[in-house]
Amino acid sequence: MSKTEKTLTPRLVKKLWVAFILIIILMGASYIFITGYLTNKHNQAITQRVNAKVAEHVIQEKFQSASPFLQDGSVNKELFGDLMHDMMAVNRGIEVYLLNKTGDIQYSVVLEHNENEPTKTVSLAPIQTFLKTNGTEFVIGDDPLNPGEQKIFSAAPFSVDGQEGFIYIILAGKEFELISNNLLGQYFTKLGIGATLLTMFFAAIIGLLSIWFLTKNLRLITRTVRKFQEGDLEARIENPERSDIEVFAHSFNDMADTIVSNMDKMKSVDTLRRELIANVSHDLRTPLAILKGYVETLQIKRDSLTEKEKDEYLQITHDNIDKLSNLINQLFDYSKLEAEQVTPIKEPFSITELSHDLIAKFKVLAKQKQIDLQLDNPEENCMVFADVSLVERALQNLIENAIKYTQPNGKVTLSLHKKGKNIEIDITDTGTGIPTNEQPFIFDRYKQVDKSAKKQGYGLGLAIVKRIMDLHDTTITVLSKPKEGSSFIFNLPAYQI
């Protein structure tokens, strides 16, 4: 098992376990409480329904007896007391009260042995509901012995010698409550222990299975990450959309793709760098070898060479020194641009003026090659916001190329046009043109369409132009047809005066 797996999984499993146990305890406690409460209510409802007629029965029995418990408007305490004792002896859970018609307690034996201060009146509303529904509905009434508490009861009205009132029997009296609470306590303990053990047992099984199932994907992911870490760059999380942690799975796959593509890029950069070094060494070696050869010849044969030959050799030496310095300058510029060491210093300047200067500079070369070099600038004065020396460098390379790849009697035109907020700069020639399939690669370092052109350049000119365009957040487009000519077009932001 990997280090990540070791540390990640148990912590997650522990958390899942704690959550599980808490849920079980909470659910168990709620279950016990709810069943206890409902069972208690259910028992009370049964007790009330079964004993609903108790009060009515007392009245029927005693009001017809020879000695009724109400004589001349007052309670026959002896008779009523006996009756109550008898009833409460048979059913210890009940307490019998005699109420007048307003609910005032007239008499009860229980009041005599009570330590609490009992109420003197009982609310009539529950009694009326009880009588109306004939005892079929669960209803609770005031418990005189426990003011503020309500209990199940049975009640029946009476009317003797013009006196009206109720027999009110609390069915779940003190004794009932004592026994009920005791039994409920036992029930809770038994049910609690039993239910807890049982649920714990099942929860443990379900918990183990669930945790195994929940962490299954995580284990898979961890394994994949580990594989990638160990160097298997192809390792990816399969079906990330089906993974429990989809975002993570996608992110990992994306990250792996990015790492692989960056590695590929770095490899290709490395390859290009090596190619560059190889090409540069070759390009430096050739003019150096020529230089060495001619300088040696001049040294050895100084006396035997004619003045004309000496001049010719010196001219060749001079040309090769030019080539070398040109290449070294290009390499220097390119490597600075490539290493992102150049920060453009943008400022407003007249691209018209710069173009005039460049045309003047290249006029001699163009004339030598019998090429017509023109500036097409219908606007008065075009101002742009850019780095003047970088733009000059780019234009120089483009004009140089246009002249280089154009045959005598051809034409090279530098045009400046206002296009919205930009100035469009276009260098068009009637030269050799570039094959369509080669066009996308001409801005790459050392890319030369025609290998024989190597004599004429080093394949760095357009790569430098491309970098300069990047620094100005603009792009350069090439439109070219073989044997017809080429156009290099780019835009620079116009500067409004």
DSSP 121: B
Structure tokens given for 422: 């930009």
Contact (Cβ atoms closer than 8 angstroms) between residue 352 and residue 416: yes
**Composition of the chain by helix, strand, coil, percent to 5:** 60, 15, 25
Candidates 105-113, 225-233, 337-345, 459-467; binding stretch for ligand ADP (CB under 6 A): 459-467
Write down the least CB distance from residue 467 to ligand ADP, Å.
11
For residue 140, the cross-strand partners are: 152
Question: Is there binding between residue 203 and ligand ADP (CB under 6 A)?
Answer: no
Which listed residue (151, 461, 468, 491) binds ligand ADP by CB under 6 A?
Answer: 461
Write down the least CB distance from residue 463 to ligand ADP, Å.
6
Output 44 or 432, the one with its CB closest to ligand ADP: 432
Which listed residue (453, 470, 489, 493) binds ligand ADP by CB under 6 A?
Answer: 453
**Intra-chain end-to-end CA distance of the chain, in Å:** 70
Output 366 or 402, the one with its CB closest to ligand ADP: 402
Q: Restricting to residues 389-448, name those near ligand ADP by CB under 6 A.
A: 397, 401-402, 405, 429, 431-434, 442, 447-448
Write down the least CB distance from residue 436 to ligand ADP, Å.
12
Write down the least CB distance from residue 330 to ligand ADP, Å.
8
Torsion sign (Cα): 26, 32, 38, 41? negative
Which listed residue (280, 395, 462, 471) binds ligand ADP by CB under 6 A?
Answer: 462
Contact (Cβ atoms closer than 8 angstroms) between residue 485 and residue 430: yes
Output 13 or 331, the one with its CB closest to ligand ADP: 331
Which listed residue (97, 458, 490, 495) binds ligand ADP by CB under 6 A?
Answer: 458
Structure tokens given for 287: 């003019």
Q: Total residues at the site for ligand ADP (CB under 6 A)? A: 23
Output 414 or 434, the one with its CB closest to ligand ADP: 434
Q: Angle 109-114-115 (CA atoms, 0-180°, nearest 5)?
A: 165
Number of residue whose CB is nearest ligand ADP: 457
Write down the least CB distance from residue 283 to ligand ADP, Å.
10
How far is C-alpha 248 from the geometric centre of its chain's CA atoms? Answer: 9
Q: Write the burial class of residue 281 (CB in 10 Å: 0-12 exposed, 13-18 middle, 19+ buried).
A: exposed
* Interaction mask 301-330, ligand ADP, x per CB under 6 A: ------------------------------
Torsion sign (Cα): 21, 26, 27, 29? positive
Q: Angle 445-451-452 (CA atoms, 0-180°, nearest 5)?
A: 130
| Closest alpha carbon to 425 in 360, 480, 350, 346 | 350
Output 92 or 447, the one with its CB closest to ligand ADP: 447
Output 352 or 430, the one with its CB closest to ligand ADP: 430
Cα distances (Å, whole numbers) of residue 139 to 95, 101, 165, 223, 378: 17, 19, 19, 66, 105
Which listed residue (103, 126, 144, 459) binds ligand ADP by CB under 6 A?
Answer: 459
Assign 200 to helix, strand or coil.
Answer: helix
Output 114 or 286, the one with its CB closest to ligand ADP: 286
Please state the φ and ψ torsions of residue 494, each to the nearest 5 degrees: -75, 145
For residue 413, the cross-strand partners are: 374, 428
Please state, in angstroms and rounded to a whole number, the distance separating the CA atoms of residues 200 and 446: 75
Question: Is there binding between residue 167 and ligand ADP (CB under 6 A)?
Answer: no
Cα distances (Å, whole numbers) of residue 478 to 277, 413, 440, 444, 451: 28, 15, 9, 13, 20
Output 152 or 403, the one with its CB closest to ligand ADP: 403
Q: Restricting to residues 224-253, name those near ligand ADP by CB under 6 A.
A: none
Candidates 151-159, 261-269, 277-285, 452-460; binding stretch for ligand ADP (CB under 6 A): 452-460
Please state, in angstroms and rounded to a whole number, the distance separating the CA atoms of residues 405 and 482: 11
Q: How big is the chain by its Cα radius of gyration, in Å? A: 54
Which listed residue (44, 119, 377, 486) binds ligand ADP by CB under 6 A?
Answer: 486
Write down the least CB distance from residue 473 to ligand ADP, Å.
21
Write down the least CB distance from residue 280 to ligand ADP, Å.
13
Write down the least CB distance from residue 393 to ligand ADP, Å.
12
Write down the least CB distance from residue 319 to ligand ADP, Å.
16
Output 43 or 474, the one with its CB closest to ligand ADP: 474
Output 177 or 338, the one with its CB closest to ligand ADP: 338
Task: For residue 97, give the H/E element and its range.
Answer: strand 95-100
How far is C-alpha 92 from the geometric centre of its chain's CA atoms? Answer: 69
- Please give the residue ranges that form the binding site for ligand ADP (CB under 6 A): 397, 401-402, 405, 429, 431-434, 442, 447-450, 453, 457-463, 486
